[in-house]
Structure 1
Amino acid sequence: MASPLPRSAVLIVNTRSRKGEKLFRSAREKLEHAGITLIASHSVRDPRRLPELVRDAVAEGAPMVIVGGGDGSLSATVDHVAGTDTVFALLPLGTANSFARTLGIPIDLDGAVAVIAGGRRRRIDLGMIDKDYFANCATLGVPPLVADTVPHGLKRWLGRPGYLAWGAWKMARFRPFRLTIGEGAAAVTMDALEVRIANGPFHGGTEMVEGADVASGEIVVQAVEGRSRHRLIWSWLASLLRLRSRKQTVREFRGASLRIATEPRLPLSIDGEVLARTPVTARIAAGVIEVAAPAD
């Protein structure tokens, strides 16, 4: 039987995330009302401070660290909890909240607080791009172009519709690329439009990589194969609408470690933040972190 979640924690909220500033005070009050003792609480305007604050909380022995923000905030901080005894909990306050959806955590504040107060410990995998941990999904193609250029105000005020509208705008500059998965005689090369490197099924708030699971011990690389932008748009729509044909638009590879190269070299977004360029090695770090998950 899983051990109960800690009753004390450090709360760290990225108030630059879409709902962080609005909900920080409410989150603190609701957590305390639910019986969580807050050792400290931090309202963070500069997201670059998030890793330092999490690292300090873990070093000082916090039983649980609660991070509020979007997927980028979570990805930037899991590195400092992985491999420790500290439980990682989250408040989904971003735009897509893909990692919360993967874990089955409600994306409303009351539901997320209820998980932290009455859920269970769950040991899960993290993905890795070279030596950098990530929580949910890394991508090649249009998403890095969007993540690197989307105006903060558009993302903050319009949420997913604004993000998708900017993505449609960026599509005009997009070009297909040559993709190689693997190395040596086992390598597979193809024309590609998008690549999703997944530890969980959700990307952009939509279930895109159904075969990915945070407790599978495998990384899943899903490629949208081809050269036509229309094929990529159809792949997106088929996934959004849950059409049976969605699986025919992609090709999947899985394993503990996969080498990924492109021609030309391309930027890669990791949980929504552009942090690497190809070639990279995608790996799974099996069972490396404990998270606060729903009781069921």
Structure 2
Amino acid sequence: METNSLPREAALIVNVHSRKGEALFEQAREKLEAAGVRLIAAHAVRDPARLQDTVRQAVSSRAPMVIVGGGDGSLSGTVDELVGKNCVFGVLPLGTANSFARTLGIGLDLDSAVETIAHGRRRRIDLGMIDGDYFVNAASLGLSPMIGETVPHKLKRYLGRVGYLLWAVKCSAGFRAFRLTIDDGKAERRMWSTEVRILNGPYHGGVELSDRADVDSGEIVIQAVVGRSHARLAWDWYAKFFKLRDRDARTEEYRGQSFRIETRPRQRISIDGEVVARTPATVKIAPGAIDVAVPR
């Protein structure tokens, strides 16, 4: 057997609280089995707080592959359970932005994702870490956590990224820039900033933000939108969304294996859409942490 081949047995765990989860759980189960993946367990998890425990139980039962369906937050909230385990992480992108699937080159429709899990290959990738908590794709501080923490679930569920955009306009009225310090152990950089992205992959919010971040580079990328202007932050997102020539003019990037981030005032940190940490924080890369299923 090829060393990069995928298991033919798996446990399927879907967050049916995610944007597409409930509608697609039964379809996913049927399509996976029709594609030749034998499901030794299948769980539709309605309480997101139980998602990590369900994944932990599947890994403990020695499932050779655990397929998690949900948004980026669901994937980051469960990936800790696979670190150091002989278990492949399968991804069903059922969320709003699906940045991690974009990073891995997985199609965002159900058929493409099933094709990857059934006939793709195994790839060893890095994970990001914030104070010991693993994440798959990206974390941020500034305006994004304010949006993620307060956006109404129905707005996100039914309008997707458009809903996030509308809520961002509302939240920006009460948002203020902050003083940022980035320390890599050799030098400190100090600046005003409106948003900081901590990238293990190039995508965040479904938008390609950096061409220097990758899931097997062995480094984490810190990208700061510099200055105090809300308009500058809005234009940065616009320029990156439409891939304008000057899309990197409003940001500064730093690459390395470990950073200490401090802010004044303290800022909440959103990890793949879920607000679970605060500054100050230590940011690291965990090289080659897990195996994932990617297209062949």
User: What is the TM-score with the length of structure 2 in the denominator?
Assistant: 0.98
Going from structure 1 to structure 2, the CA distance change for 1:174 and 1:34 (only over 3 Å counts) comes to same
Contact 1:177 1:193 in 2 (8 A): yes
- Return 5+ residue gaps in structure 1 as ranges: none
Instruction: Indicate the residue corresponding to 1:12 in structure 2.
Output: 13
Instruction: Indicate the residue corresponding to 1:208 in structure 2.
Output: 209
- Looking at structure 2, the residues matched to 40 and 208 of structure 1 have their Cα atoms a distance apart, in angstroms, of 37
Instruction: Indicate the residue corresponding to 1:52 in structure 2.
Output: 53
Instruction: Indicate the residue corresponding to 1:195 in structure 2.
Output: 196
SS for the counterpart of 2:249 is: helix
Matches within 5 A, 1:40-79: 40-79=41-80
Going from structure 1 to structure 2, the CA distance change for 1:99 and 1:183 (only over 3 Å counts) comes to closer
What CA deviation, in whole Å up to 9, does each residue of 1:108-156 have, x standing for no partner? Answer: 0000000000000000000000100000000011110011000000000
| TM-superposed deviation, 1:209 | 1.9
Matches within 5 A, 1:114-153: 114-153=115-154
Contact 2:184 2:258 in 1 (8 A): no
Contact 1:2 1:122 in 2 (8 A): no
Letter of the structure 1 residue corresponding to residue 76 of structure 2: S
| TM-superposed deviation, 1:188 | 0.6
Instruction: Indicate the residue corresponding to 1:277 in structure 2.
Output: 278
Instruction: Indicate the residue corresponding to 2:38 in structure 1.
Output: 37
- Return 5+ residue gaps in structure 2 as ranges: none
Letter of the structure 2 residue corresponding to residue 23 of structure 1: L
Going from structure 1 to structure 2, the CA distance change for 1:263 and 1:30 (only over 3 Å counts) comes to same
What CA deviation, in whole Å up to 9, does each residue of 1:35-88 have, x standing for no partner? Answer: 000000000000111110111111110000000000000000000001110000
- Looking at structure 2, the residues matched to 167 and 92 of structure 1 have their Cα atoms a distance apart, in angstroms, of 23
Does 2:251 align with 1:256? no
Q: Which consecutive aligned stretches of 4+ in structure 1 deviate over 4 angstroms post-superposition?
A: none
What CA deviation, in whole Å up to 9, does each residue of 1:203-246 have, x standing for no partner? Answer: 00010122100000000000000011111111011001100101
- Looking at structure 2, the residues matched to 160 and 140 of structure 1 have their Cα atoms a distance apart, in angstroms, of 18
Letter of the structure 2 residue corresponding to residue 178 of structure 1: R
Contact 1:177 1:263 in 2 (8 A): yes
- Looking at structure 1, the residues matched to 97 and 156 of structure 2 have their Cα atoms a distance apart, in angstroms, of 10
SS for the counterpart of 1:173 is: coil
